[in-house]
Amino acid sequence: MDALRKLEILADAAKYDVSCSSSGSNRQNKKGGLGNASAAGICHSWTDDGRCISLLKILMSNSCIYDCAYCVNRSSNDLPRATFTPEEVADITINFYKRNYIEGLFLSSAVVKSPDHTMEQFIEILKKLRDVENFNGYIHLKAIPGADKKLLDKAGSYADRMSVNIELPTEDGLRMLAPQKKQNEILGPMNDIKQGMLQSIEERKIFRNSPKFVPAGQTTQLIVGATKDSDYRILKLSEGLYNDFQLKRVYYSAFVPVSTNPLLPRISSPPLVRENRLYQADWLLRFYGFNSDELLSEDKPDFDLLLDPKCDWALRNIDKFPIEINRAEYHMLLRVPGIGVKSAQRIVSSRRFCQLDFDDLKKLGVVLKRAKYFITCKGIHSGIKSMEPVNIRANILGDSSKKDPRQLSLFDLEGGMGNDLNIELPV
């Protein structure tokens, strides 16, 4: 099989892995080297200024020894198989980069022969790129659960970012749908990567030129909807991962029904709205000061599909509103629907000089269509007279129905790649 046909198969096989975003890497180019990760960031993503940057996103192989029920590359599935050699991956990456097709590499793989063998092949690829080709561009590498720690350490010295996909939120889910995988074999590498990053930071405090270890951090991915796990269970897990392993991101991937296994749910389309709500809640955890127990509970285990999590929280805590915009503390401003991090900072900065009114808030970027129900300006409330949650909810949904808020798919109907993550973030 020629390299072009392999590329066709393995690029298509990689499309279900969504854990790609801005790298945050500061790897600098060396004299005579090729590429610069700090300038390009990650590829296949949208930057803050609207630029689309590209990534060679491939699997090294789709020939897997595991038979996970939810995976298109499972061993029992009848599909074309292909495996790149380390030389082929390195050659394709360099040639694509020189032609300005890509700005980096996202490399994953099915488990070939064993986790150790797969990681050894990864290291060969990275050695050829870094040491032979002198490639200094961005590289995101998938760590293989169950691989030896020494191999992970070696790979981490070459990669800008690494990730270990948890995929299913509970051990029971893994036991049912991926019995060959063990949760401790997934969490173990995560901890190893974390410790390697911390050690690298400490070493660089003493020796400035000490080698970096995964400078762009680590991420993971969770499949949403393949098991009966609630949003609360998923969000609780994500919160724990952020706290325990210092992850950069947790990615959520709506379950795509690629098989008819009786253990899998029978759905006609991926739960994309649910995926979107989890991304919004994840944003609230990382930037808005919320915790998972505030957003959901055992009594309310799933998000409202019609309202974003922040609006839903505000309506369930209506006794805290309305707040006076000119006096409220910063952390409380962040909890007002329609007020984001930047607009909250602008409010705190601006009100030191004058009393703000609704026109001022609009200029500061506040979405008044939602915020007006939960705030007062100079004692004036411009929302509806009733503060009953059911009435406010009806008005918010009425405003939302005037536009089409549907989340776009990661992939179009023809199976082509979409624009990274088309999610609506909370404000």
Q: Among 115-119, 122-126, 156-160, 408-412, which is the least confidently predicted range?
A: 408-412
294 has a pLDDT exceeding 90: yes
Q: What is the residue type of 318? A: I
What are the backbone angles phi and psi of residue 295, rounded to the nearest 5°?
-80, -35
Instruction: State the total domains in the chain.
Output: 2
Q: Are residues 223 and 363 in the same domain?
A: no
Q: What is the pLDDT of residues 83-116, one digit of tens each?
A: 999 999 999 999 989 988 888 899 999 999 999 9
3-state class percentages of the chain: helix first, strand second, coil last, to nearest 5: 40, 10, 50
The token pair at 209 is 């030129």
Q: Where are the alpha helices (DSSP H) in 22-148?
A: 37-40, 86-98, 115-127
Q: What is the pLDDT of residues 18-54, one digit of tens each?
A: 765 544 455 555 656 655 544 333 344 544 445 565 7
Handedness of CA 15, 18, 19, 23 (dihedral sign): positive
Q: Are residues 182 and 49 in the same domain?
A: yes
Q: Are residues 239 and 333 in the same domain?
A: no
Establish if 342 belongs to a structural domain.
yes
Q: What is the residue type of 214? A: V
Give the residue from 211, 239, 256 where a domain finishes. 256
Establish if 276 belongs to a structural domain.
no
What is the reported pLDDT for 34?
56
Q: Are residues 248 and 333 in the same domain?
A: no
Give the residue from 256, 273, 304 where a domain finishes. 256
Q: Are residues 36 and 173 in the same domain?
A: yes
Which DSSP letter does residue 248 get?
S
Q: pTM, whole model, 2 decimals?
A: 0.85
Q: What is the dihedral of CA 28, 159, 275, 226, to 10 degrees?
A: 170
Q: What is the pLDDT of residues 319-342, one digit of tens each?
A: 999 999 999 999 999 999 999 999
Establish if 242 belongs to a structural domain.
yes
Confidence of residue 3 (pLDDT cuts 50, 70, 90): confident
Q: Are residues 232 and 331 in the same domain?
A: no
Return all residues near 413 (Cβ < 8 A) that are at least 6 apart.
none
User: Tokens 């096989």 correspond to what residue?
Assistant: 13
Q: Find the mean pLDDT for residues 399-422.
A: 45
CA distance 354 to 316: 32
Q: Are residues 334 and 251 in the same domain?
A: no
Across the chain, mean pLDDT equals 86
Q: Are residues 201 and 97 in the same domain?
A: yes
- 87-97 per-residue burial string, b: 16 or more CB within 10 A, e: under 16: ebbbbbbbebb
Q: Are residues 90 and 193 in the same domain?
A: yes
Establish if 138 belongs to a structural domain.
yes
Confidence of residue 209 (pLDDT cuts 50, 70, 90): confident
Q: Are residues 130 and 13 in the same domain?
A: yes
Would you say 248 and 25 are in contact if contact means Cβ atoms under 8 Å apart?
A: no
Choose among 161, 220, 159, 141: nearest CA to 186: 220
Choose among 101, 139, 146: nearest CA to 123: 139
Q: Between helices 272-287 and 231-245, what is the axis angle to 10°?
A: 40
Q: Are residues 35 and 156 in the same domain?
A: yes
Q: Find the mean pLDDT for residues 335-364.
A: 96
Strands (E), 151-277: 161-163, 218-224, 249-254
125 has a pLDDT exceeding 80: yes
Establish if 19 belongs to a structural domain.
yes
Give the residue, 319 or 8, on which the prediction is more confident. Answer: 319
220 has a pLDDT exceeding 70: yes
Establish if 215 belongs to a structural domain.
yes
Angle at 358 between CA 354 and CA 362, to 5 degrees: 100
Give the residue from 213, 240, 256 where a domain finishes. 256
Q: Are residues 11 and 128 in the same domain?
A: yes
Establish if 304 belongs to a structural domain.
no
Confidence of residue 297 (pLDDT cuts 50, 70, 90): very high
**The domain that contains 181 carries what CATH number?**
3.20.20.70
- Residue 71's domain spans which residues? 3-256
60 has a pLDDT exceeding 90: yes
What is the reported pLDDT for 29?
57
The token pair at 33 is 């080297």
Q: What is the pLDDT of residues 373-399, one digit of tens each?
A: 999 999 999 988 889 999 999 999 987
